[in-house]
Chains A and B, each alone.
Chain A
């Protein structure tokens, strides 16, 4: 028995594989999904997705989005997602600093811009954490 997992962002498909189980961070806590899970639609918050498949565990960093599980198919729609191996620590740090310095002028920005920058910072720190864990 296996699950089909796909992770898609506006920049393209990040992950599309057959897996055994997946654990993802949702707004109401971590949710683990294995085959036969009831249909579920939930909101994802920035965090770390752990995918167990034959031959090991994959980790991915995601920013906010939605996850849907129907049948034996899990679809994750995220603003951003990156697999652990592709994380470039230097680039992440630069992106984080850029966003943080931009946030200093927060007064002149609209709420949406601030939200977006905050998500960027969160996403960056998750990538850093994930990288450090290893």
Chain B
């Protein structure tokens, strides 16, 4: 049996750990609240934008734009959204498992330190790495997306996809792919953005030809980049909500584990102390009886 001194040492270290994890839980909880709010307020906009585009893409005959053009996919372009720091459960490893499943050629652009580490460790083709602060400024996301669009137009990559931990609720985050380019079937995207409570999206009944003011080319040239940028931004906000939720849950269970451990150790400590006292009394009693 370990001595009381050893146990006391362990109790101290476990208490320290619990304090730290508790603090981290609180920090993550407040960040989570904000991130979840950000993600949900942007959702309506992203959904409507996708809806507008779905309406448009169904009605343009004879208008060509490189964003709609489906070419043979030789190299996929994947934007991986990970976290900068660890201690957030299986969030990043779930993403990386998806990457390992990918077959065929793919080039990667990463956000967050964890993804860079993974991509370079596995000797995958890394185009660029970015780091985005916690508030996810729109302009910064735009730069990243524009970089990828450039590669897309140059033919270096044939798709732009985004791999991120999609926020389902505080306890569940799913690693999922979102396809940004080429713009094809938008229904799934719209439905996932709308959430499961809303009525499912359906194609509008009005089938008259759409009129563009001033003209289709002008509208599409500003609407399409806006769409890609905004959808990417929304995915990033969503990923941030996932990150902080996962971290809070991980820290909460770490704290709970520390508490359980501490209870066990305290019990052990008390037993050891009691045993030492009993031992001492026995010794004194034995000494007195042998003298008398």
Contact = CB atoms under 8 A, between A and B. Distances in A.
Interface of A: 6, 8-13, 26-28, 31, 38-43, 66, 68, 70-71, 73, 75, 77, 112-113, 116
8 contacts: A10-B45, A12-B45, A26-B213, A28-B214, A31-B213, A41-B213, A71-B206, A77-B48
Contacts of B206: 39, 70-71
Given A68-B55, A75-B51, A41 B44 contact: no
Interface string B225-239: 010001001000000
B139 A8 contact: no
A6 B49 CA distance: 12
Given A39-B206, A71-B206, 6 more contacts: A13-B44, A26-B213, A38-B209, A42-B219, A77-B45, A77-B49
Interface string B108-150: 0000000000000000000000000000001100100000000
Interface residues of B, number: 31
A66 B213 contact: no
Nearest to B55: A70
B260 interface: no
Interface in B133-185: 138-139, 142
B213 A28 contact: yes
Counting chain B CB atoms within 10 Å of each CB, the highest count among A112, A113, A116 belongs to A112
A8 B46 CA distance: 9
A10 B42 contact: yes
Interface in B220-271: 222-223, 226, 230, 233
Contacts of B44: 8, 12-13
Contacts of A8: 44-45, 48
A10 B41 contact: yes
Contacts of B209: 38-39
A29 to B, nearest CB: 9
B210 interface: yes
B208 A116 contact: no
Nearest to A13: B44
Contact of A113 (B139, B204, B208): B139
B211 interface: yes
Contacts of B205: 71
B51 A12 contact: no
Contacts of A41: 52, 56, 210-213, 219, 223
A104 B205 CA distance: 50
Contact of B52 (A26, A68, A116): A68
B289 interface: no
Nearest to A31: B213
Interface string B32-53: 0000000001101100110110
Contacts of B45: 8-10, 12, 77
A112 B204 contact: no
Nearest to A112: B139
B41 A27 contact: no
Contacts of B291: none
